[in-house]
């Protein structure tokens, strides 16, 4: 089994030094410890994904671990454990708004941290699986020759802007809906679909290959507009 990779935000010297050693001894891979919010964001923007983030709430520099947790939820979708010396209601109430997988007050034992990490990763995995399962069964309603057709969203390969209309392309048939592409995008799950061009919205499960200029999906070359490549790459990785 591949070792789970842990990210740590911690500015207390002794913990920043010792915690990675203790985690490695328990079989985890550990990313370089970061001590400020900006260092953490820079790391996430330029490195491969990790499996979980351990965040101290109060650190040096601007911002705090709660603000970073919100950013992680939005951009990287990772399980989060707050590891903090602050047990006051003020911090706890703010932290719980992020809905972390765990909240550990220092000092904590390595056993309790180990258990929290395993449970947090499993909980996050189960929640994503349940969400994706629900989305795969979701339907997209479209009118075709006077009939209301219920398409499974996983049947849709891509949607292409066609003036004030949108062409919805499936493996068996193409449909035209009287909605602009932006409206169609709102009705489809963003975990499965990504905008790669002002005229194209694609289902990532059908992507065969891609580079910074185009993707190949269902044997068709689709251009990638500048600025959309990074979003596509993050979603696929």
Same domain, 123 and 25: yes
Q: Say if CB 210 and CB 224 are below 8 A apart.
A: yes
Same domain, 197 and 84: no
Same domain, 14 and 119: yes
Q: What is the pTM of this model?
A: 0.58
CATH of the domain at 109: 3.40.50.2300
Distance CA 203, CA 188 (A): 10
Same domain, 112 and 161: no
| Domain extent at residue 119 | 5-134
Same domain, 147 and 163: yes
Same domain, 59 and 85: yes
Same domain, 104 and 145: no
CATH of the domain at 166: 2.40.50.1020
Q: Say if CB 40 and CB 21 are below 8 A apart.
A: no
Same domain, 109 and 10: yes
Distance CA 7, CA 20 (A): 9
Same domain, 92 and 144: no
Per-residue tens of pLDDT for the chain, all 237 residues: 688 999 999 999 999 999 999 999 999 999 999 999 999 999 999 998 899 999 999 898 888 999 999 999 888 989 999 998 876 777 788 888 888 999 998 999 999 999 999 999 988 888 877 776 655 567 888 888 778 888 888 889 999 999 889 999 998 899 999 889 999 998 898 888 999 999 999 998 888 888 888 888 878 899 998 778 888 877 776
Same domain, 160 and 231: yes
CA dihedral 31, 36, 42, 48 (to 10 degrees): 20
């Amino acid at each position: 089994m591949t070792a789970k990779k842990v990210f740590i935000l911690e500015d207390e010297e002794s913990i920043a030094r010792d915690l990675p050693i203790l985690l490695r001894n328990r079989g985890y891979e550990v990313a370089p410890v970061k001590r400020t919010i900006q260092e953490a964001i820079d790391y996430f923007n330029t490195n491969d994904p990790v499996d979980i983030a351990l965040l101290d709430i109060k650190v040096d520099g601007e911002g705090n671990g709660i603000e970073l947790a919100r950013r992680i939820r939005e951009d990287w979708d990772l399980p989060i454990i707050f590891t903090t010396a602050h047990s006051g209601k003020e911090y706890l109430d703010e932290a719980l708004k992020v809905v972390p997988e765990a909240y550990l007050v220092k000092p904590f034992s390595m056993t309790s941290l180990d258990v929290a990490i395993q449970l947090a990763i499993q909980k996050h995995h189960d929640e994503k699986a349940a969400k994706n399962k629900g989305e795969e069964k979701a339907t997209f309603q479209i009118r075709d020759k006077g009939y209301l057709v219920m398409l499974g969203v996983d049947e849709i390969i891509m949607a292409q802007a066609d003036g004030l209309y949108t062409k919805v392309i499936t493996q068996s048939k193409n449909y035209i809906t009287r909605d602009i592409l932006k409206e169609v995008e709102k009705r489809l799950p963003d975990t499965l679909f990504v905008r790669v061009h002002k005229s194209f919205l694609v289902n990532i499960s059908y992507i065969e290959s891609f580079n910074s200029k185009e993707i190949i999906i269902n044997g068709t070359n689709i251009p990638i507009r500048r600025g959309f490549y990074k979003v596509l790459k993050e979603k696929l990785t």
